[in-house]
Structure 1
């Protein structure tokens, strides 16, 4: 088996990168409700050929998921899990992300408030309570019966909320666009499974090139289904309908590849040379694909994916240089809660806002609804969420799929 590191269970550079991404995601989510901010601080429309730093946040999350995959799988292998048991774990984690994503996206839109038995803020708060019951990391000192009972209550609660949900014309919950977490779940399932397969049968070098070719093939599939008549073939229509999933999975695989280049012993001796070569190839491919494919996050185009991977490589390279080469680590403590407990920090703003909705309290004062004041509010809001996340983490509340 190919080990990504000798024995470390966590890598500070990866944790810090994850923390930065989660912090930025909380910031831009709050910023989305602010008027009169520069366009470079907003998502670009689907038909605009370009991207802002906001359009980089989601692919950066995908990328860091990929960087973590080799360590997560190796940790399970070290415990004696078989390949089948590891795949079951990947599938269950993916299912959890998809389920939470679908519930969250239905809480945001598609509901008929008048037909619901309870208010939408209460429905949303209950949903997150049940999510916490199912996926919280219970202490080992707690009775297994109590842990199992709490999880079963959570499952029953989500089923109840699904039954209560009413959309237009008495419809129920729909997948809509799966939500951010749902899209991550699908990409993780595809990329994690592919990595697990190559890990069983390939040497480190062969594995690297196999994953690179698979990632390019997934991006190529976008062209095949989008630019040719293949999408009209009945058996391929399902793939065409979910074209973005292929691109998202390719971004995850790119994270896997960079993680291997930095931390797999077989590549450690020439780490920096390999990093420069990989990053250079990615940016060349990005510019090449841009000639035939516009940059669009909404459409999940190949050029957007490749430019996103390039920027992620550059950012991670800078983090690695500061943390591991220069040993500048004091500043990393701020990102610790979102690094080690990312799902909790991600859902905290939604929990806070649903509580405010129940109480009839508008959290953001009107003065901060636009312009520079709104930007500063969003930064402050993200910092407060980080502090709350740190406190809850110290209290032992951890959410882990």
Structure 2
């Protein structure tokens, strides 16, 4: 009997909307092309210079918290289902490390793959960036059915080899200095939150009283910054 997997479509829809809005907010034209509420409240048009004395937020400031909420809300469904299937100890730890490592690796690779980071001729920047994108798709994509799903490990190996060859050559010829300290800050924040959120969920699931301890530590953290 084939086990039917259910999706929380409302959560998927909100997550998809948050991703779409994050992409859109990163490509908004400047020079006063749009009204002020389309930009960060502290960088209003037409000059778009940071003004910390301006209060308020706009929709641009909300899309990332939306995605963080969706990621956190999905943790109980994902790990709770695995626990019900019998995942314990080592398997859960392996899954946590794979999730965190995948996001952290994506944050590092995607930052190095950006055209303006590569010290190459202008005509070669975008083709090399597209090649890196192909490698990332092969490495990180995880379709649930079809030919790709049946050969997932092969596709990941091909993607990893493409990225190693590309960045190895660029690093060797001093076109890109590959450093672990260079990463996309947004994706790295997501990686850290995914790891911390999963650990807190697993801890609270086993020890119910840790929820209040976690809440107290969180309050202490925010109060210490005031």
TM-score w.r.t. the length of structure 2 is: 0.76
Q: CA, structure 1 residues 213+8, in 2 after alignment: closer, same or farther (shift >3 Å)? A: farther
- Measure how far apart 1:212 and its partner are: 5.6
Q: 1:35 corresponds to which residue?
A: 31
Q: 1:300 corresponds to which residue?
A: none
CA displacement, residues 156-192 of structure 1 (integer Å, 9 cap, x when unaligned): 2222233234598973345335332222111111111
Q: 2:217 corresponds to which residue?
A: 217
Of structures 1 and 2, the one with the larger relative CO (CA 8 A, separation 6+) is 1
Q: How far apart, in 1, do the equivalents of 2:198 and 2:215 lie?
A: 12
Question: Residue 135 of structure 2 contacts residue 160 of structure 2 at CA under 8 Å; is this kept in 1?
Answer: yes
- Measure how far apart 1:72 and its partner are: 0.4
CA displacement, residues 254-311 of structure 1 (integer Å, 9 cap, x when unaligned): xxxxxxxxxxxxxxxxxxxxxxxxxxxxxxxxxxxxxx4xxxxxxxxxxxxxxxxxxx
Q: CA, structure 1 residues 174+148, in 2 after alignment: closer, same or farther (shift >3 Å)? A: closer
Q: 1:76 corresponds to which residue?
A: 82
Q: 1:120 corresponds to which residue?
A: 125
Q: How far apart, in 1, do the equivalents of 2:211 and 2:167 lie?
A: 38
Q: How far apart, in 2, do the equivalents of 1:216 and 1:178 lie?
A: 30
Q: From 142, 145, 153, give the equivalent of 1:148.
A: 153
Q: CA, structure 1 residues 58+129, in 2 after alignment: closer, same or farther (shift >3 Å)? A: same
Aligned pairs for 1:70-109 (under 5 A) are: 70-108=76-114
- Measure how far apart 1:46 and its partner are: 8.1
Q: How far apart, in 1, do the equivalents of 2:125 and 2:137 lie?
A: 18
Aligned pairs for 1:149-228 (under 5 A) are: 149-165=154-170, 171-176=177-182, 178-202=184-208, 206=209, 210-211=210-211, 213-215=213-215, 217-218=217-218, 220-221=220-221, 224=224, 227=225
TM-score w.r.t. the length of structure 1 is: 0.46
Q: When the two structures are aligned, how many residues end up with a matched partner?
A: 212
Q: From 4, 11, 14, give the equivalent of 1:14.
A: 11
Is residue 23 of structure 1 aligned with residue 15 of structure 2? no
Aligned pairs for 1:1-400 (under 5 A) are: 9-31=6-28, 33-36=29-32, 37-43=34-40, 44=42, 45=50, 47-48=52-53, 49-108=55-114, 111-114=117-120, 119-138=124-143, 142=147, 146-165=151-170, 171-176=177-182, 178-202=184-208, 206=209, 210-211=210-211, 213-215=213-215, 217-218=217-218, 220-221=220-221, 224=224, 227=225, 292=226
- Measure how far apart 1:52 and its partner are: 1.8
Q: CA, structure 1 residues 146+22, in 2 after alignment: closer, same or farther (shift >3 Å)? A: closer
User: Which has the larger share of helix?
Assistant: 1
Q: How far apart, in 1, do the equivalents of 2:216 and 2:183 lie?
A: 24
SS of residue paired to 1:113 = coil
Question: Residue 112 of structure 1 contacts residue 168 of structure 1 at CA under 8 Å; is this kept in 2?
Answer: no
CA displacement, residues 94-115 of structure 1 (integer Å, 9 cap, x when unaligned): 2111111222223347624337
RMSD: 3.3
SS of residue paired to 2:87 = coil
Question: Residue 25 of structure 2 contacts residue 60 of structure 2 at CA under 8 Å; is this kept in 1?
Answer: yes
SS of residue paired to 1:195 = helix
